[in-house]
Structure 1
Amino acid sequence: MWSPDEIASLCYNHFNKLPKRGKPEAGREWTLLAAVILLTDSSELKTVRKQVVSLGTGTKCISQSAMSTKGDILNDSHAEVIARRGCVRYLTEQLFRAVSGQSSDVFCPGSEEGKWTVKPGVSFLFFTSQTPCGDASIFPMTGSQAQPCEPVNALQSEESERRGLKRHAECDLEETRQSPRMKTSDNHSSRRKSGNTSEHEAITENKESSPLNEVLRCHPGVERAHPPDLHRTGAKCVPDSPADPLQPGLLYHSVGVLRLKPGRGERTLSLSCSDKLARWGVLGFQGALLSHYLQAPLYFRAVVVGKCPYSHQAMQRALKTRCSDVRDLPSGFSAHDPEILQSALGFPHNHTHTEAKHTHTQGRISPCGAAISWCAVSQQPLDVTANGYKQGVTKKALGTSQARSLISKVELLHSFLKLVAATEELPESLRGKDLKTYWDYKQAAGAYQQAWTQLRLQAFPLWPRSPPELLLFS
């Protein structure tokens, strides 16, 4: 009914039809793309309607020191996060239409009072042009893949561990000179460093086997005749978790662990896209606010990756295996098992294609500083940001509504409050409560918070929590 190439082509064509604003300069800037696709199955016609309902581009996130207590800045502008936030904006409008008695493409009344469910035949796919940053990006290179940097060897390993953080910070400073508030996750670039990783630490605790043999067993395409090498991620392990061994070959990284972007320079509070996709696979991608209205969470039917360095085993590990044993979830929640597929079509604006078109007169290749959000809403579907705010905003306007992205936390809260105001029969979780702040509404989503607690306890106990003061806006 649909193929990975169809999905990739649909997303790329949709991007091409968007205005030029926020797009990378050909041959000099690169970016990444992600999208949410609405599938509507028609059993009578034996057809599937495929519609992009949210699309995002971007590679950057802000440092912890730049975060706002007003909820008016985008902390994480990686394409996957932008696409998901745009989808939440789309779903909010679809729920508004439903509660207002208008036609919704997605929702119909549920069996519980004040609750809604997805229409029969409706499902969602997630597309990303690049392997998600973090754990899904850690896998061995095959012999045919180019290595941009020299492999780490035994003589270099000790020195690499000692000097690594300093060298990474210097590289990051050079990459982000024009945008000091934003950082680019180096694993979200095609310029991954060399080395290799074990596949054992977080998945097979205390397993009495060779990490080298474990990776080679999981990745039979890696040639044993030569020292194996891998795609590294720049995202660093979260505080209090075991650090990466930083040893040569397969022992450079730990796998299965939570990681923070960007991995170089000042830390952020943004978890890697691998970690966020894994979380959405248990809690749903609708978020806490919309879960008030939904009889069950929304899960992606499949995750499709564009042509890029890719490992199905690493994707399975990062998105599914880490959460597969989570139990005692509230009714409707589950450790979802999406299909994981790869397309043979690459994004024309990724690093590889940009490098092929680059000329020496254009200067150095760099990530595009803008992030594009488009979603299928009736008003202002396009939202272009840079440094977490609307692109082109003046310093004088910072802190005002004119500077805010339409997918910022505070704007999504305001859209949700309009939905609440338009609802005659409120869900039970919103009745008779004095809810004022973003934090209040999130915490009142009882089933969602119970599921989140179980996920943290059983799979992600070291998931960093945002300081409460960052969530007390209204």
Structure 2
Amino acid sequence: MIQNVSQCTAQNLPRNGSKNATQTGSQIMTQDAIANLCLTRFERLPKQGKPGSGQWTVLAGVVVEHEGGLELISLATGTKCLSGVERLGSVKGTQLSDSHAEVLARRGFLYWFLRQAELAFQNSSQFLVNSGTGTVHWKPGVKFHLYSSHPPCGDATIFIFEKEESCLAKDNLCTAKKDSCAGKEDTSTGKEDSFIGKKDSCTGKDISCTTKKDSSTSQEDSCTGKKVLCTCKENFCTGKKDSCSGKEDSNAIESQLTSLNSFKTTNSSLCSELSPTSSSSTNASKAGSDPKSIPPGQEATKLNTSKDQESHQNMNKISSPSLQQTNLEKDISEDLDEPVQKKLKLDTNRTGAKCVKGEIEDPLGSGTEYHNIGVLRRKPGRGDPTLSLSCSDKLLKWNVIGFQGSLVSQFLKIPVYFSTISIGPSGFNLPALQRALFSRYPDTASKPVLLQPTLKFRFAQCDDLKPSSDSILHVPGNSGFTEVYVAGYKQGWSKKKLATPGAWSSVSCIHLARLYRSIVSKYTGIQPPIQYSAIKQSAFTYNTAKLKFKSNLPAWPAKSAEFDDFSVE
């Protein structure tokens, strides 16, 4: 179902964008137990591949439940995805094209299953039973849970939230990835907003408040940088010279700075970078109250015509209504006893994932008119576009046809689904997750319980951090491994040696296919095809379900057969 995000109801939406489901005590224990398994194991991993200073990443894990216990079977971090050009330039089947944490964790499950199937044929698996026909089945009570420290990219991250705005200064809310107080046109003065110049920690845009000088004092105004007095200087309201007086109004300066410092103290958590030090504010007020502090050549020019004085007074009368409750200087100077007014504004939490060809493009308007919802999207990437669909779209597919894939499906007669999906805690929005992961599809076979853990990941996405370029995949157990990837290959291998099997991930297409072939040939006596494409085509039941799924989503892009056309020997 494709909708514009503005068509969604904003009723009862919380201001921070997270809408938690009502959860029972047992659910909270379950989701925190699942999250704790992943977080604790991550802390025990070596430092290699973990985010460095100033970096963030996503952590995801697959947990199996059996006989009342939980066991971690795959853990991954990652935020990177290759472009189509990069994929075509590599040896086919050797490079990981999608290194997002959820996708890597699922590939770790595929490896874990193949190892368990091997044990099942030896009648020694804790989770699988040999069916005696070259296939296996799950023991009673086996369930799977997915954890992710961040909502899956794409449709699941798009939702409406209420943004609280101050009438004196606009809140800088990082969720929409837009700085609401920088670079906008000041409609009351016709000048560009002076909140520009410093780096905003959420957007990287310039927002400093000290770029212009007060011509009456020759000192920088500590918050706005605009002219603050209308006496014998350039009037910030009119842009004209004022002839009404030849003296600086020290009381006006002191009053404005006192009120301004009070405002900045109460709003420091929202725009901390806009708050100058108290000492600079004190110095500014002293400079304004002492005419001798004005440097030579900077004195205000005194105009003697009564016409200019009358013009100034009339202009102030005209501009006052437009400045009321919208201009920082006017609010402070006109009515210092009036409390800071707040208003709520609807906005859209945004994703960098782009609509695939065939879907209706995002309108990219302001506020709630920025995104369409329910559409298929490609993962974002710099330079050439990626060929990988968003994690929201992949999870939707897993909830319809299962997350077992074509290789594993040839050992199982029924699909594998997640019983629960735990997301967050940050960024969790229940309606958006429900829509993205199953309700936008007409007939979803599985609707996992969506849970929000209370435990936080210490490398979670944050305003002024950059995504880590490294990915980690950890599969516990005797046959497990811990590998670090950069650009789809194991870390530490030079470009000249990327054609060496040792540089390839244990969950690359070619390695998984080789493991599959060795198990089938050893325990069933059947010799599977050598071509990777032929191995995948042997999964008749799975491929039928996949074709039906894609028929209901006509914009789902077809994968080029070229990527699967290679020998696994």
TM-score by length of 1: 0.74
Q: Which residue of 2 aligns with 1:140?
A: 160
- Give the Cα separation in 2 of the matches to 1:264 and 1:250: 26
- Give the Cα separation in 2 of the matches to 1:142 and 1:96: 52
Q: Which residue of 2 aligns with 1:465?
A: 558
- Give the Cα separation in 1 of the matches to 2:31 and 2:348: 25
Q: Which residue of 1 aligns with 2:422?
A: 304
2:355·2:375 contact (CA, 8 Å) conserved in 1?
Answer: yes
Q: Which residue of 2 aligns with 1:107?
A: 128
- Give the Cα separation in 1 of the matches to 2:520 and 2:50: 35
Q: Which residue of 2 aligns with 1:37?
A: 63
Q: Which residue of 1 aligns with 2:93?
A: 71
- Give the Cα separation in 2 of the matches to 1:151 and 1:260: 27
- Give the Cα separation in 2 of the matches to 1:467 and 1:378: 36
1:59·1:77 contact (CA, 8 Å) conserved in 2?
Answer: yes
Q: Which residue of 2 aligns with 1:450?
A: 544
Matching residue within 51, 67, 72 for 1:24:
51
- The residue type equivalent to 1:113 in the other structure is T
Tell me the CA shift for residue 28 of structure 1. Answer: 1.6
1:69·1:472 contact (CA, 8 Å) conserved in 2?
Answer: no
1:93·1:377 contact (CA, 8 Å) conserved in 2?
Answer: no
Matching residue within 5, 15, 28 for 2:42:
15
Larger radius of gyration: 2
Tell me the CA shift for residue 117 of structure 1. Answer: 1.3
Change (3 A) 1:72 1:263: closer
- Give the Cα separation in 1 of the matches to 2:37 and 2:512: 27
Asked if 1:290 is matched to 2:290, the reply is no
Counterparts of residues 55-66 of structure 1 (less than 5 Å): 55-66=75-86
Tell me the CA shift for residue 102 of structure 1. Answer: 3.8
Asked if 1:231 is matched to 2:349, the reply is yes
- The residue type equivalent to 2:434 in the other structure is Q
- Give the Cα separation in 2 of the matches to 1:264 and 1:232: 17
Matching residue within 73, 79, 101 for 1:53:
73
Counterparts of residues 313-332 of structure 1 (less than 5 Å): 313-323=431-441, 325-326=442-443
Counterparts of residues 355-434 of structure 1 (less than 5 Å): 365-424=465-524
2:83·2:381 contact (CA, 8 Å) conserved in 1?
Answer: no
1:300·1:338 contact (CA, 8 Å) conserved in 2?
Answer: yes
Asked if 1:344 is matched to 2:438, the reply is no
1:109·1:117 contact (CA, 8 Å) conserved in 2?
Answer: yes
What's the CA shift string for 1:299-356, capped at 9, x where partnerless? 0111001211221000000001122x23xxxxxxx6111111111222111123xx6x
Runs of 5+ unmatched residues, structure 1? 42-47, 157-173, 175-223, 327-333, 356-363
Counterparts of residues 172-191 of structure 1 (less than 5 Å): none
- What SS class does the counterpart of residue 94 from structure 2 fall into? coil
- The residue type equivalent to 1:339 in the other structure is V
Tell me the CA shift for residue 380 of structure 1. Answer: 4.8
1:21·1:384 contact (CA, 8 Å) conserved in 2?
Answer: yes
- The residue type equivalent to 1:439 in the other structure is S
- What SS class does the counterpart of residue 472 from structure 2 fall into? strand
- What SS class does the counterpart of residue 346 from structure 2 fall into? coil
- The residue type equivalent to 1:105 in the other structure is Q
- What SS class does the counterpart of residue 89 from structure 1 fall into? helix
What's the CA shift string for 1:149-181, capped at 9, x where partnerless? 23599x99xxxxxxxxxxxxxxxxx9xxxxxxx
Tell me the CA shift for residue 18 of structure 1. Answer: 0.9
Q: Which residue of 2 aligns with 1:3?
A: 30
- The residue type equivalent to 1:349 in the other structure is F
- Give the Cα separation in 2 of the matches to 1:11 and 1:236: 30
- Give the Cα separation in 1 of the matches to 2:41 and 2:555: 38
Q: Which residue of 1 aligns with 2:329?
A: none
Matching residue within 98, 120, 128 for 2:148:
128
1:234·1:264 contact (CA, 8 Å) conserved in 2?
Answer: no
- Give the Cα separation in 2 of the matches to 1:77 and 1:89: 16
- The residue type equivalent to 1:150 in the other structure is D
Q: Which residue of 2 aligns with 1:171?
A: none
What's the CA shift string for 1:245-264, capped at 9, x where partnerless? 11112121111111001155
Q: Which residue of 1 aligns with 2:179?
A: 150
2:162·2:345 contact (CA, 8 Å) conserved in 1?
Answer: no
- Give the Cα separation in 1 of the matches to 2:140 and 2:97: 35
Tell me the CA shift for residue 368 of structure 1. Answer: 1.3
- What SS class does the counterpart of residue 360 from structure 2 fall into? coil
Asked if 1:437 is matched to 2:531, the reply is yes
Tell me the CA shift for residue 425 of structure 1. Answer: 6.5
What's the CA shift string for 1:131-165, capped at 9, x where partnerless? 11000000123336933523599x99xxxxxxxxx
2:110·2:404 contact (CA, 8 Å) conserved in 1?
Answer: yes
- The residue type equivalent to 1:91 in the other structure is F
Give the % identical residues.
Answer: 38
- The residue type equivalent to 2:455 in the other structure is L
- Give the Cα separation in 2 of the matches to 1:450 and 1:377: 34
- What SS class does the counterpart of residue 64 from structure 2 fall into? strand
- Give the Cα separation in 1 of the matches to 2:181 and 2:125: 55
Tell me the CA shift for residue 442 of structure 1. Answer: 0.9
Q: Which residue of 2 aligns with 1:270?
A: 388
- What SS class does the counterpart of residue 173 from structure 2 fall into? coil
Q: Matched residue pairs, number?
A: 373
Tell me the CA shift for residue 414 of structure 1. Answer: 1.0
2:162·2:344 contact (CA, 8 Å) conserved in 1?
Answer: no
- The residue type equivalent to 1:3 in the other structure is T
1:152·1:248 contact (CA, 8 Å) conserved in 2?
Answer: no
- What SS class does the counterpart of residue 3 from structure 1 fall into? helix
2:417·2:446 contact (CA, 8 Å) conserved in 1?
Answer: yes
- The residue type equivalent to 1:104 in the other structure is S
Change (3 A) 1:296 1:7: same
Runs of 5+ unmatched residues, structure 2? 1-25, 165-171, 186-203, 205-341
- Give the Cα separation in 1 of the matches to 2:551 and 2:48: 43
1:8·1:306 contact (CA, 8 Å) conserved in 2?
Answer: no
TM-score by length of 2: 0.62
- The residue type equivalent to 2:82 in the other structure is I
- The residue type equivalent to 1:120 in the other structure is P
1:136·1:318 contact (CA, 8 Å) conserved in 2?
Answer: yes
